[in-house]
Amino acid sequence: MAGHQVDRAIDAVDAAMRELKRSLRGIPIRREGFKSRHDRMAKAVAKLTVALEDSRPAIND
């Protein structure tokens, strides 16, 4: 059951990141340091997603 919750969490994060990417089209993101903040956030989310994937065997035990 916990493995299913991990799958759902990863899917939700993936969907949110795709939606963010779509919503940024046409917006001048290089203003006010937004691009660097976006990049830092995207890297942090990627690290979280990888950590969740890597923890799957421990969670499924």
Whether this prediction's pTM lies above 0.75 is answered by no
3-state secondary structure of 24: coil
The Cα 55–Cα 61 span in angstroms is 10
Q: Give per-residue pLDDT as tens, 7-47.
A: 888 899 999 999 988 888 877 877 777 888 888 999 999 99
Residue 35: C-alpha distances to residues 6, 14, 23, 48, 61 (Å): 29, 19, 14, 20, 40
Helices 2-23, 34-60: axis angle to 10 degrees equals 160
Task: Please determine, for residue 4, whether its predicted confidence score (pLDDT) is greater than 70.
Answer: yes
